[in-house]
Structure 1
Amino acid sequence: MKTLLLALCFAVSLGHLASAQATPVQDVLQSQRALIEKSSRRTIGPAIDALVASKLPQMQNVLELWQGKQMWQRKADGLFFSATKDADGAYALRDFDSDAVVGTAASSDLKQLKPNSGVRAMIATALVQFQLSDPDPAKRADALNSIARDPEAGLLAPLRSSIEGEADAALRARKIRLERLMSMAFDGDEAVRVAAITDMSGDLGVDFRATLNPILATTRVVSKTAPEANIARELTPGEDDLSMAQAYDALVASGDAPALITDDARDAALEANVSGGRVAGVPLAQLSTEATRDAAYDGLVTRDLAAPRITQADIEASLATFRFFDVYREPSAAVTQAAEAALAASETRVAFSQAADLGLDALSLASIYFLAAIGLAITFGVMGVINMAHGEFIMMGAYTGYVVQLFVPNHTASILIAVPLAFIVTFAAGVALERLVVRWLYHRPLETLLATFGVSIALQQMAKNIFGTQARPLTSPAWLDGAWVLNDVVSISYIRIAIFILALLFLMLFLFIMKRTRLGLETRAVTQNPKMAASMGIDPDRVNMLTFGLGSGIAGIAGVAIGLFAKVTSEMGSDYIVQSFMTVVVGGVGNIWGTLAGAAMIGGFQKSVEFLNPSNTLAAQTYMIIFIIIFIQFRPRGIIALKGRAAGD
């Protein structure tokens, strides 16, 4: 009797424990227990769907724990828990509904569920439906990213339901856009799909065009009559991008025409029918030409040992029997018509945006060339000196910026210090070059060219000895990182914008110096007539020295600007000296407006060639040089010719 009473009490206690653990979440998990235990990507789908369909708020936590390999199963009864290991090595089991500890177990009594990567990916997709309305904005953003990467029809409804309660304006806009895109692809109502496509017609987003492309995808269909399908177009062999050969190949692929006998197939048939050193009565020794092989093959055909060759007449007869269609994979004609119109509008806007982007790139490149050439325009245009070391002054300015950043880690402060310091360094170097070399070679252009070329080589070698041959970093401030993005097509980096603004500042500064200062007045006087200027008390040697120093100093500042996006090496000046000379010559020697026009022309032409042939930048340089050679044949004095000494030289 006592034993029976103990057994009854034990059974009652087990019943209470079971009833305590028979919770809504546990019931759903137990209903899918076999699939969860197997945890195979091919079979787990219904189990995950059942968990989501339960609409229990705790299921998000269950899926997250399962995905993170933090869900455990008790071997004794198959119940599922989350578990944490305590100091004694035992595991505290937590109920999914209440998150309360409902018992402990040793590791040997538990089985850890470890879903593979495929199952985890499926769980992640299911979690998206919960995360769309998660209180954490970061999780909602992650859910949108997940949907955008792998959109599915089943996610459209939860996405729509989450829009109304979205408080974050940016996330709400993303949800609305994603809902429109998914409506185009997955909504079962044709009118809704057409409306979504029409609403976004002309959109420049890559995601929009990527959504339309599958809708407009076609399949090639060969038929004797028009198929009952959404036909995109009917093609004529020999026209409409369908050659006769392609059309016949399509017939062969569909089983509506025999395959052509290729040379390999012919030779294989000949080898298979060799008998007594002959093929169809033709000795093997005579099968050395294509004509004899064809004759031997025709002999096999007459003996019914090979398939007859297909003639051109046979091909034409077969093609005349069949019709060729491109058929939309999308069955709805209204949807494809709306998609065609929307894509055409989008492509038109893309073309205009690409033109604007090309113009911004050309303007950016022109600004760089203008900065590099403005100093040369002063020395070459005003003084008539061909300074082959001008590129090395650009290099010196860039290295000055690099040295400053070694001592001033704040990049904004270092740039603000480097710009005037680069001017001072290169101004002094320019004055030294003019005093020591150039002043003795005025009116001797060949000797000046050779001397400054030698100086450029010496300066390059000095830079290599000091800084080495590896490129040195000249880091831009953080506020210059990134780009100004107008849309998915048009963007320009902030560094390029800063260089454009710097070029404008230099243009205004140069105009101020030339129009509003004594140095500018004396420079213009020496440029127009040096002898008359000297008779008026102006020292031409002093003006030439200061002018050469000014041009060199501007080159140094240009070096700092260029170094922010280009590699800083001892040879970097060589990359810009040719373009600088071309800019000055094309624009008009000695004229600042001509230099600006020359930079715009060369930058625009180079970017246009690169756009037409983006895989070969060397071609752009070559075509640009050819263009300039042709241009100076018609305007040898440049776009804006200088009056005075340069005009008479």
Structure 2
Amino acid sequence: MRLFSVLFVCLVAVAVVVAVSVAGPALAQSGPAVPGQGQPSPIQNILQENRALIEKSSRRTIGPAIAALRDSGLPAARNVLEKWQAKALYQRKSDGLFFFAEKAGEDGYRLIDIATGADADADAGTANRQDLDQLKPNSGVRALIGAALVPYQLTDPDPAVRSGALDAISRNGEAAHLRALRGAIASETDPGLKARKERLERLLTIAYDPDPSARIAAIESFAGDLGVDVRAALNPLVATTRAVTTGAPPEGENIARRLIPGSDALPEAEAYRLLVAAGLAPPRISAADRRNALAAHIEDGAVAGIPLEDLNSEAARERAYAALAARGLVPPTATTEEVQAALDGHGFYDRYAEPDPAVSAAAGAALDAIAAKLGLNQAVNLSLDALSLASIYFLAAIGLAITFGVMGVINMAHGEFIMMGAYTGYVVQQIVPNYTVSILIALPLAFAVTFAAGVAMERLVIRWLYNRPLETLLATFGISIALQQLARNIFGTQARPLTSPGWLDGALHLNDVVSISYIRIAIFVLALLFLALFLFIMRRIRLGLEVRAVTQNPRMAASMGIDPDRINMLTFGLGSGIAGVAGVAIGLYAKVTSELGQDYIVQSFMTVVVGGVGNIWGTLLGASMIGFLQKGIEWLNPSNTLAAQTYMILFIILFIQIRPRGIVALRGRAAGD
């Protein structure tokens, strides 16, 4: 009987061993069983392994869980990350399993398997809301999930999704993105996106590739590139921190330069502060604090036993303070000798944040090449700004060049004709909502309105004041004030918008440094057109010939049958009409107010006087000179535009003293005047 029992136990043991050996691998592959669910999917296993991190959902701790999903290689990983980011991932309270869920009924939810996207099995297909926890990642966790989705989005069939992924990498690139970018370049079919991927791959190579030669090659490929992203990638490689050491610098330090205390690069006070911050020297109080401490401990005409009359030197005051510190009456401080000894006993140097000297050297060389090209492009950009400003001044002054230069009339109301033209454009836009059509209508209408106003002003006022400059100045100044007040009464004091057409929005970007707005390009073209128109009128048609004749010799012109009175009226009207057109152009980028003209009247007179009174080429040269001069002064002193205006006026005054007739002197009646 006993033998039979022993044999039975042995057979049972053998059967158990065989069963375990057969079922063990299958159990190991399928993972832990969940009651009522069979074997969970691999994606569910990953979530279960990181369940504690996911339930806490903290930005500081969630990284490993997100990385596990991202690096799993499972097809369902992207969908899980997207649903999690969209707050569509749920966890069942009873067993901790994760599902997607859709509302079904009033308080029920249909559970969806995260691996297959199909409905969960019959036992787990639905759940009540109170049985589920919705995962609601905060903004920080959602940002991490978004970064993890980037590798999937780089190969998405939708170009917009791929472009968005590249934007995300540009804003917040990571080392993990480098491998994904390299894998996505070959399959990219869009040339623009492929170029962006290749550029980002080189930028990430600079920052994250462990191979120094690959980083150096990527750095050298950007030599002369003016992109802001390139400078942002290279600058950290040449950034330095100041360090102090008691002996030779540690091995492996990438030293930028050694520093000597007391030099311009490292003043002694700063060097000693470094020693104090590193705990290598005691702090030192200021001379004023030491003096106050000594004064607070005066007893019987002495400090720490040293008579006051003996405290007439720095060394004596230091000894007195040291004596007080030894008694515990004041905090200890270093003496001059101790400070000097501490400085002599330590070494100071700047070290690169980048540990590899070859990489930092390549970055420095690339930045030097970029700096040289950057300076050249900044000069080009400044010249374009100056040219656009000169075109504005020329457009504003060309009408004054006619009324003041040709006729010799000091018209202080010229700025108000500019203002009238701008308001004409505004009124037209209220009637014609199409901005392109309204501008095309406003330009000739502004000319007509201000031409008529100029003719009326000449007939009613100016014709009676010829050869009386002071009275003309006072009269036109009064008209200027009256026109400003009339504009306030009609349009109010609030600035009115004069909107440019959509095709003038934005700017022409040649690179990250050089750009010019389309509006300024349009004004430059308009100025050239008016220059050509003025030259055509003055040289090709009868009115221009008569104006030139009256300008050079009015009596001889009258004897030839030319009516000087009529010519003066038309000339004044022409100058006023051109000012109105200039007002429409200026109003496209400046605020249209009753004071608009006052902003340009001084520059207009300076342009005409500096260029040469009565000469259109002189006006052009004067506008160019003032525009470049103003931009140059503003570049030298960008924080104070008022000072720039003052310096410019002073320069103009000196220039007129040297060349009173301007750059191009006029011959004829005006020259004789």
Distance in 2 of aligned mates of 1:220 and 1:268: 33
Partner of 2:408: 384
Change (3 A) 1:197 1:108: same
Are 1:251 and 2:270 an aligned pair? Answer: no
Are 1:433 and 2:457 an aligned pair? Answer: yes
Are 1:167 and 2:185 an aligned pair? Answer: no
1:83 is paired with a residue of what secondary structure? strand
Distance in 1 of aligned mates of 2:61 and 2:339: 50
1:101 is paired with a residue of what secondary structure? coil
**Quick one: percent identity of the two aligned structures?**
67
Distance apart, 1:565 and its partner CA: 0.1
Kept in 2: contact 1:82–1:93 (CA 8 A): yes
Distance in 2 of aligned mates of 1:226 and 1:23: 55
What does 1:291-440 correspond to in 2, within 5 Å?
Answer: 298-302=319-323, 304-305=326-327, 310=334, 312=336, 314-440=338-464
Distance in 2 of aligned mates of 1:637 and 1:203: 47
Are 1:76 and 2:99 an aligned pair? Answer: no
Are 1:530 and 2:551 an aligned pair? Answer: no
1:81 is paired with a residue of what secondary structure? strand
Distance in 2 of aligned mates of 1:432 and 1:466: 20
Partner of 1:638: 662
Partner of 1:49: 67
Kept in 2: contact 1:398–1:563 (CA 8 A): yes
Change (3 A) 1:273 1:129: farther
Are 1:567 and 2:591 an aligned pair? Answer: yes
Kept in 2: contact 1:71–1:82 (CA 8 A): yes
Change (3 A) 1:485 1:390: same
Are 1:445 and 2:466 an aligned pair? Answer: no
1:221 is paired with a residue of what secondary structure? strand
Distance in 1 of aligned mates of 2:250 and 2:130: 65
Partner of 1:606: 630
Kept in 2: contact 1:200–1:342 (CA 8 A): yes
Are 1:197 and 2:219 an aligned pair? Answer: yes
Which deviates more, 412-421 or 123-132?
Answer: 123-132
Partner of 2:104: 86
Distance in 2 of aligned mates of 1:290 and 1:452: 76
2:570 is paired with a residue of what secondary structure? helix
Q: Give deviations 1:590-626, integer Å, cap 9, x for gaps.
A: 0000000000000000001111111111111101100
Change (3 A) 1:313 1:297: closer
Distance apart, 1:22 and its partner CA: 2.0
Distance apart, 1:638 and its partner CA: 0.3
Distance in 2 of aligned mates of 1:154 and 1:373: 60
Are 1:617 and 2:641 an aligned pair? Answer: yes
TM, length-normalised to structure 1: 0.93
Distance apart, 1:152 and its partner CA: 1.4
Partner of 1:474: 498
Distance in 2 of aligned mates of 1:319 and 1:31: 56
Partner of residue 133 from structure 2, selected from 96, 107, 111: 111
Are 1:512 and 2:527 an aligned pair? Answer: no
Q: Give deviations 1:229-264, integer Å, cap 9, x for gaps.
A: 111112233335222222232233233333323246
Which deviates more, 310-319 or 365-374?
Answer: 310-319
Distance apart, 1:313 and its partner CA: 5.2
Partner of residue 500 from structure 1, selected from 524, 544, 556: 524
Distance apart, 1:299 and its partner CA: 3.2
- RMSD (CA atoms): 2.3
Partner of 1:33: 51
Distance apart, 1:117 and its partner CA: 2.1
Which deviates more, 83-92 or 430-439?
Answer: 83-92
Which amino acid is the alignment partner of residue 69 of structure 2? Answer: L
1:18 is paired with a residue of what secondary structure? coil
Partner of 1:152: 174
Kept in 2: contact 1:396–1:559 (CA 8 A): yes
1:548 is paired with a residue of what secondary structure? helix
Kept in 2: contact 1:369–1:599 (CA 8 A): yes
Unpaired segments of 5 or more residues in structure 2?
1-32
Q: Give deviations 1:169-197, integer Å, cap 9, x for gaps.
A: 22111111111111011100010000000
Distance apart, 1:273 and its partner CA: 6.0
Q: Give deviations 1:290-348, integer Å, cap 9, x for gaps.
A: 96999677335346336776555554444333332111111111101110110000000
Distance in 2 of aligned mates of 1:542 and 1:646: 19
Which deviates more, 51-60 or 31-40?
Answer: 31-40
Distance in 1 of aligned mates of 2:276 and 2:112: 66
Distance in 1 of aligned mates of 2:47 and 2:283: 58
Distance in 2 of aligned mates of 1:69 and 1:264: 62
1:353 is paired with a residue of what secondary structure? helix
Distance in 1 of aligned mates of 2:46 and 2:322: 72
Kept in 1: contact 2:226–2:374 (CA 8 A): yes
Kept in 2: contact 1:514–1:521 (CA 8 A): yes
Change (3 A) 1:163 1:593: same
Query: How many equivalent residue pairs?
Result: 632
Partner of 1:207: 229
Q: Give deviations 1:373-398, integer Å, cap 9, x for gaps.
A: 00000000100000000000000000
Partner of residue 627 from structure 1, selected from 637, 640, 651: 651
Distance in 1 of aligned mates of 2:43 and 2:333: 71
Are 1:124 and 2:136 an aligned pair? Answer: no
Which amino acid is the alignment partner of residue 450 of structure 1? Answer: L
2:90 is paired with a residue of what secondary structure? strand
Q: Give deviations 1:399-457, integer Å, cap 9, x for gaps.
A: 00000000000000000000000000000000000000000000000000000000000
Change (3 A) 1:390 1:141: same
Partner of residue 37 from structure 2, selected from 18, 34, 39: 18
2:37 is paired with a residue of what secondary structure? helix
Distance in 2 of aligned mates of 1:128 and 1:212: 24
Unpaired segments of 5 or more residues in structure 1?
1-13
Partner of 2:6: none
Distance apart, 1:148 and its partner CA: 1.5
